[in-house]
Amino acid sequence: MSHDSGRFGSRAFARALLPAAGVPASGRHPRAGAAGALDDEADGGGRAATAVIERREASVSVAPPARASRRRLLPFEVLLTSATGARPLFEPGPFDELRCAQRVVPAGRGARHDVEYLAWRGPTDQGRHRAFGCFRLDEAEPLVDLRRQQAFWLRLRAERGIRTLPQARVRGPRTAPCGAPREGVLQLEPALASGPYSRSGQPTLDARDVAEVVRRARGPERVAWLEEAFRAEPAAGTAVHRYYLDADLTAWLVRHEGSSKVLAALRPSAEARDRGLLFYPRRA
């Protein structure tokens, strides 16, 4: 899998991202080494990395806790549009960042396209589509390697005392009966095979704890964690597109072709952003 260590250079990424408080916009601290790890990595990155974290904890702003007492609803449908019609990506209803829409596309010479258009449609629009935005794949950046995202691991250490996280996995079947990647909406979750996630020197985490941590991450960081669930290379002559949606309705597109993954960002139209998510108190 091809990764980048934290470079978000395109205009689309600049519009979609805001630097974390106390952390450079590049996502890297000067002179900082690898500070975090996923489940299949050695814990801690060594004493030097731990010392780096401890020296820099004071410069990291701790975000307020997420409001778990409210449930979120997407009030409209998000569609992928083309000359041949519209394809639903996200249906209106309960919203969750730990979800993606997946489709298989042709790859190779002459098959690749550089622009994809999204639209949205409310329940009273009677078939009329409204512009949501467009992905520019020619501005896509290599998918980041989460293990090298210093700002992410520094925040986790400061907020929760966490140095490692479990991998992500797809809930349910990963492939269609024909053996091809399963298309449509996929739900992702922490890969906890036998109870809570426990590692020496950090708090024990259950699935809800891990999901909360990942939901509060910045878009590219969260997508990078979720993409660890998709390691198998697509079949020759094909690529896989996976679409993710943030709570602020920023959309992300991962193009997975061979061992390469690139990430494109989309800021929604003002009209769609003004609609936003709906928040309701959770039922007792």
Q: What confidence tens digit (pLDDT) does each residue in 204-248 have?
A: 888 999 999 999 999 999 999 999 999 999 999 999 999 999 999
At residue 3, does pLDDT exceed 70? no
197 or 100: which leads in pLDDT? 100
**Band of residue 53 on the pLDDT scale cut at 50, 70, 90:** very low
Give the pLDDT confidence score for residue 145 in this predicted structure.
Answer: 93
Say if residue 96 is exposed, middle or buried (CB neighbours under 10 Å; 0-12, 13-18, 19+). middle
The answer on pLDDT for 127 being more than 90 is no
Tokens 């298989």 belong to residue: 104
Q: In what order do the strands lie in the sheet with 77-82?
A: 85-90, 77-82, 115-121, 130-136
**Mean pLDDT score, 111-124:** 91
Q: How far apart are the first and last CA of the chain?
A: 44
CA distance 211 to 199: 17
Confidence (pLDDT) at 139: 94
**Looking at the predicted structure, is the pLDDT value of residue 21 above 70?**
no
Comparison of pLDDT for 14 and 78, the residue scoring more: 78
CA atoms within 13 A on the CB side of 41: 19
Q: Would you state the pLDDT for residue 15? A: 57
* Paired strand residues for 186: 100
pLDDT of residue 272: 95
- For residue 117, give every residue at least 6 positions away whose Cβ sits within 8 Å of its Cβ, in sequence order, or none: 80, 81, 82, 131, 132, 133, 134, 135
Which residues, 6 or more positions from 262, have their beta carbon under 8 angstroms from its beta carbon? 137, 140, 141, 142, 143, 254, 255
Phi-psi region of 45 (alpha: psi -120 to 50; beta: other; left: phi over 0): left
Instruction: Give the pLDDT mean for 37-43.
Output: 53
Q: Which two tokens stand for residue 193?
A: 């095979």
Local confidence band at 175 (pLDDT 50, 70, 90 cut-offs): confident
pLDDT digits (tens, 9 = 90+) for 56-110: 434 443 334 444 457 899 999 999 999 888 999 999 999 999 999 999 999 987 7
C-alpha–C-alpha distance, residues 81 and 58, integer Å? 47
- Other Cβ atoms less than 10 A from the Cβ of 262: the count is 17
Band (50; pLDDT cuts 50, 70, 90): very low
